[in-house]
């Protein structure tokens, strides 16, 4: 897959010379709704004998358009998003820098420069996708005009009887509430965070529960502070391990207001040193909120219970 990074104004050297079918969107999380857009694009490309392309944006438009509620953490940071798109056997991935300059591009300018001049012969997006200054361009207006490309609109994708659409915003909310099951259902896979094992306080080993301290590799949305049943992939071994994970500030030992949030995984039946290893944490079940204990004994007793509960929950996942 060829990745083409674009900073507006787009240059002629960044145009694709082959006719393409283009799926367009922010695609944070690449959840089930996004997957439907991408699968539709692949179907259209096959039917019309076009190359397969995806256009996404970085950073999130809210950084420019809504600074009071700007989104700077992601379900899939840009590097993860590109990796996931590449696994779909896509030919081209355009990453457009969403800047103040780009935000001033009118809908007509966007259509002419990013679609027509770029050999786009089919545009595929969700029903609520908008583009151009003030979001004045949308999929309905694209369909109503006679452009030299076909327009394919993917309808609202839902999971529940309330017919609420699957959205990145709702998935983020689920993570913040600790509702991992709903998050994973909407994603169509377990939520995951990539990182590296770094030195921690080594306090866990002194109480019989050594942990691997995971330093996230990017600005991920962190789940609610608490204890989770997880799986940990050690990249160099290409092997997955079951574990119990604490996300939080360890209030039994630290001032919650002064200590940075950490991700620490107790890997079951594992005693190797893995400092410096690249890993990926897969989140399966929320067990309990983080809490402060009145002493080491009560903490150890609770961790033992958490570990057994994590083993029980993961045994169900493992079949």
Task: Going residue by residue through the chain, which has 319 residues, state the pLDDT in tens, using 9 for 90 and above.
Answer: 999 999 999 998 899 999 999 999 999 999 999 999 999 999 999 999 999 999 999 999 999 988 888 899 999 999 999 999 999 999 999 999 999 999 999 999 999 999 999 999 999 999 999 999 989 999 999 999 999 999 999 988 887 655 678 899 999 999 999 999 999 999 999 999 999 999 876 555 555 578 899 999 999 999 999 999 999 999 999 999 999 999 987 644 545 554 578 899 999 999 888 999 999 999 999 999 988 777 677 788 888 899 999 999 999 887 6
Q: Does domain 168-317 have CATH number 3.40.47.10?
A: no
DSSP code, position 13 = G
- Shortest CA distance to 189 belongs to which of 25, 316, 29, 26? 29
Q: What is the pLDDT of residue 163?
A: 65
CA 147 to chain centre: 33
Residues of the chain with CATH 3.40.50.620: 2-154
Q: What is the pLDDT of residue 291?
A: 80
Question: If one looks up domain 2-154 in CATH, what number appears?
Answer: 3.40.50.620
Cα–Cα distance measured from residue 112 to residue 103, given in angstroms and rounded to the nearest whole number: 15
| Helical H segments across the chain, by residue range | 32-48, 62-65, 78-86, 100-103, 107-110, 139-144, 168-177, 180-187, 203-206, 296-317
Q: What is the pLDDT of residue 177?
A: 95
Number of Cβ atoms within 10 Å of the Cβ of 70: 13
Cα–Cα distance measured from residue 14 to residue 191, given in angstroms and rounded to the nearest whole number: 33
Q: What is the pLDDT of residue 12?
A: 87
Q: What is the pLDDT of residue 161?
A: 54
Tokens 């457009």 belong to which residue?
96
Say if residues 3 and 95 touch (Cβ distance below 8 Å).
Answer: yes
Q: What is the pLDDT of residue 258?
A: 46
> 239-269 b/e with 16+ CB inside 10 Å = b?
eebbbbbbbbbbebeeeeeeeeebbbbbbee
Residues of the chain with CATH 2.40.30.30: 168-317
Cα–Cα distance measured from residue 72 to residue 61, given in angstroms and rounded to the nearest whole number: 10
Put simply, whether the predicted model's pTM sits higher than 0.85 gets the answer: yes
């Amino acid at each position: 897959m060829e990745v083409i990074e674009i900073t507006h104004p787009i240059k002629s050297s960044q145009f694709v010379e082959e006719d393409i079918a283009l799926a367009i969107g922010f695609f944070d999380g690449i959840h089930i709704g996004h997957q439907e857009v991408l699968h539709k694009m692949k179907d259209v490309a096959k039917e019309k004998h076009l190359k397969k392309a995806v256009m996404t944006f970085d950073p999130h438009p809210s950084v420019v358009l809504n600074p009071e509620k700007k989104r700077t953490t992601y379900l899939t940071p840009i590097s993860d998003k590109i990796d996931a798109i590449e696994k779909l056997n896509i030919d081209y991935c355009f990453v457009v820098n969403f800047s103040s300059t780009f935000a001033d591009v009118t809908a007509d300018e966007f259509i002419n420069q990013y679609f027509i001049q770029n050999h786009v012969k089919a545009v595929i997006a969700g029903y609520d996708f908008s583009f151009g200054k003030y979001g004045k361009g949308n999929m309905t207006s694209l369909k109503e005009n006679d452009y030299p490309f076909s327009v394919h609109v993917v309808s609202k994708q839902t999971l529940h009887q309330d017919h609420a659409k699957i959205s990145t915003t709702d998935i983020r909310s689920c993570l913040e509430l600790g509702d991992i099951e709903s998050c994973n259902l909407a994603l169509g896979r377990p939520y995951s965070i990539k990182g590296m094992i770094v030195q921690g306080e080594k306090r866990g080993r002194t109480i019989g529960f050594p942990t691997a301290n995971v330093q996230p590799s990017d600005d991920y949305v962190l789940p609610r502070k608490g204890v989770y049943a997880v799986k940990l992939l050690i990249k160099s071994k290409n092997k997955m391990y079951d574990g119990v994970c604490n996300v939080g500030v360890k209030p039994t030992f630290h001032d919650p207001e002064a200590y940075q949030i950490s991700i620490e995984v107790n890997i079951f039946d594992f005693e190797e040193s893995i400092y410096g290893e690249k890993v990926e944490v897969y989140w399966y079940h929320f067990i309990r909120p983080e809490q402060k204990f009145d002493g080491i004994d009560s903490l150890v007793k609770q961790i033992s219970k958490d570990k057994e509960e994590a083993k029980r929950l993961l045994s169900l996942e493992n079949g």
